[in-house]
Structure 1
Amino acid sequence: MTGAAKELVLEIATPQGPGRAHVCRPPRARGTVALGHGAGGGLRALDLEIAREALVGAGWAVVLVEQPWLVAGRRIAGRPPTLDAAWVPVVESLLTGRGRLPRPLVVGGRSAGARVACRTAAELDAHAALLLSFPLHPPGRPDRLRADELALAPDPSWVVQGSRDPFGTPDEVREHLPAGTSLLEVPGTHSFPKGSAQALADALGVVAGMLPG
């Protein structure tokens, strides 16, 4: 991560309670990438950390959004509508408030955060999406597809998927990619191990160089 980038943490009110925005902004940022975490973990997931490093290094302001349920210390995420209701005002406040972050806006996140990004992309007028470990279906339940959510991803979008992801293998996800969405396959499962770090860095470096901004 570039040493010239400014880092700060902002607490932002939402209908679900306070959320937190962890902002890393390089000088003369090309635009903003807002990323959400998964339902089973926080902001230290390997793919989120590598994504932030690659994107800031490419000149993007990156925001890791901490949902109110996690800020409050709860272990279980809320229902999808409550996640969306918290995510939207956090991102909007960063784009419109004092010291606002620049557009174009790229939304995304890992797992549940990727779903939130897809569902709210149109409302936030997002230019693109970066979806990490998109959970196409629950493990062992390929009949319960979330392809309707993936279809909401803006054009262009990128999916970075583990080669053995039980929530949807790359081959499964490819069958449901909307127009303008590309898939990059990385060795690993749903939560990437440390051994996937270089492959993730390579894939996310490619995405960082292709984002519209």
Structure 2
Amino acid sequence: MTIDTPDGPAELIIDEAEEPAAVLLLGHGAGGDVDAWDLALLADRLPTLGVNVARFRQPYRVAGRKVFSSAPALDRAWQMAVAEATRRWPGLPLFVGGRSAGARTACRGFGSGQTGLVLLAFPLHPPGKPDKSRLAELVDAAAPTVIVQGEKDTFGAPDQVSAALATAGRADVRVVAMPAAGHTLAPKAKATDEQIAEAERLLTWSVAAFIDAGRS
């Protein structure tokens, strides 16, 4: 469906459960789209577990651009997606999140009526620049949170994310490490069928378990 925003039309791609018990709204990364491996996997698997999944395509991607104009523009459009999800599924707990830049946007926009954060490949810092931390965005959200991070993510490995959170007093945040994965979280091209299946299970059940616990 199309959502009109001050920065142009955006899109919400919806995959619904037969008997939904919760909603997960996800945003894409800065240079990516809603068909990213992790977003597409959750949209495919979570509805079978009772979770409606809505993937939000930002206006700049709808317009065919690969670079967004500003963080405030992302935030404006995101809030309209949150409002639409709230209107469309009243009474269901709303979890929000996304991958990379989408995860940051969800952190900045977390507020009343939202239940928890699902952050995929949270970019703790730019590659090679650990001094330029984005941790404050995550901590300031003060939300129940699960983070799924690739073991080889150059934007912040799982142990780096966990250590930063502990220093900030957020040791309660669960950080899930995806074995051998980079920033995309996707299995490597040479991964075996067994390794691919295990990666799919780990991502799906880490998010599903967090949502199940959070909606109780």
Give me the TM-score of the superposition, normalised by structure 2. 0.86
Give yes or no for the alignment of 1:126 onto 2:119: no
Aligned length: 201
**1:186 touches 1:200 (CA, 8 Å); kept in 2?**
no
Give yes or no for the alignment of 1:166 onto 2:157: no
User: Sequence identity of aligned pairs in percent?
Assistant: 38
Per-residue CA distance 1:185-204 (angstroms, 9 max, x = gap)? 00211013334643243233
Q: Which amino acid aligns with 2:117?
A: A
Give yes or no for the alignment of 1:181 onto 2:195: no
Q: Which amino acid aligns with 1:50?
A: L
| Stretches of 4+ aligned residues off by more than 6 angstroms | none
Q: CA deviation at 1:157?
A: 1.0
Task: Tell me the residue number matched to 2:74.
Answer: 83
Q: CA RMSD in A?
A: 1.7
Task: Tell me the residue number matched to 2:130.
Answer: 142
Q: CA deviation at 1:154?
A: 4.5
Task: Tell me the residue number matched to 1:6.
Answer: none
Task: Tell me the residue number matched to 1:64.
Answer: 55
**2:124 touches 2:133 (CA, 8 Å); kept in 1?**
yes
**1:54 touches 1:205 (CA, 8 Å); kept in 2?**
no
Give yes or no for the alignment of 1:192 onto 2:194: no
With 71-80 and 61-70 compared, the bigger mean Cα shift is at 71-80
Q: Which amino acid aligns with 1:192?
A: L
Q: CA deviation at 1:184?
A: 0.2
Task: Tell me the residue number matched to 1:13.
Answer: 4
Query: What secondary structure, in the 3-state scheme, does the structure 2 residue paired with 1:115 have?
Result: helix
**2:121 touches 2:153 (CA, 8 Å); kept in 1?**
yes
Q: 2:40 aligns with which of 39, 43, 49?
A: 49
Gapped regions of structure 2 (runs ≥ 5): none
With 186-195 and 110-119 compared, the bigger mean Cα shift is at 186-195
**1:54 touches 1:201 (CA, 8 Å); kept in 2?**
no
**1:128 touches 1:154 (CA, 8 Å); kept in 2?**
no
Change in 2 beyond 3 A, CA 1:43/1:30: same
Q: Which amino acid aligns with 2:184?
A: S
Change in 2 beyond 3 A, CA 1:65/1:75: same
Task: Tell me the residue number matched to 1:24.
Answer: 15
Query: What secondary structure, in the 3-state scheme, does the structure 2 residue paired with 1:13 have?
Result: strand
Q: CA deviation at 1:40?
A: 1.2
Per-residue CA distance 1:85-138 (angstroms, 9 max, x = gap)? 111112202322xx545521100000000000111011x531111100000000
Distance (Å, rounded) in 2 between the aligned partners of 1:143 and 1:41: 25
Q: CA deviation at 1:169?
A: 0.8
Change in 2 beyond 3 A, CA 1:180/1:15: farther
Per-residue CA distance 1:126-180 (angstroms, 9 max, x = gap)? 1111100000000111010001011134532100000010001111100233253
**1:51 touches 1:201 (CA, 8 Å); kept in 2?**
no
With 72-81 and 157-166 compared, the bigger mean Cα shift is at 72-81
Q: Which amino acid aligns with 1:116?
A: T
